[in-house]
Amino acid sequence: MTSRGVALLEVLVALAILSGAGLALLDLVTAGLRAEREARERERVLAVQERVLTALTLLKRDELDRRLGRQPIGELIVDIQRPERTLYRIAVVQQESPQVEDLVTVVYRREARNGP
């Protein structure tokens, strides 16, 4: 009868170990799925930012001058500066973290010529 009690105890310990391992595996899978979801969302935001940045780089000099400073565009903030007369610095950030510039570029626009 003692050996039956020991066997039952061994089975219970084995089940506890398997349950612990199963819970750890479940946590690992959940963390992996969460990371994948966050990566997809980040990729979506970067694609939107890239389209906005591309559109802004196509603007003419006078259009960029009208947009100088920080302006919200949908879920993003665009910061356009003119560090030199012919250069425009364009940065795109998320509204939830405006201190982090995700995408930045500098474009050249020559000055308008006066006269023929």
24's tokens? 């750890």
94 contacts 100 by C-beta, under 8 angstroms: yes
* Block residue for tokens 């006269």: 115
68 contacts 82 by C-beta, under 8 angstroms: yes
Q: Which value, in Å, is the radius of gyration of the alpha carbons in the chain?
A: 29
Q: What is the pLDDT of residue 51?
A: 95
Q: What is the pLDDT of residue 1?
A: 58
**Other CB atoms within 10 A of residue 46 CB:** 13
What is the pTM assigned to this prediction? 0.72
pLDDT means per 10 residues, the chain with 116 residues, are 79 91 93 95 93 95 95 94 95 91 94 69
Q: What is the pLDDT of residue 4?
A: 74
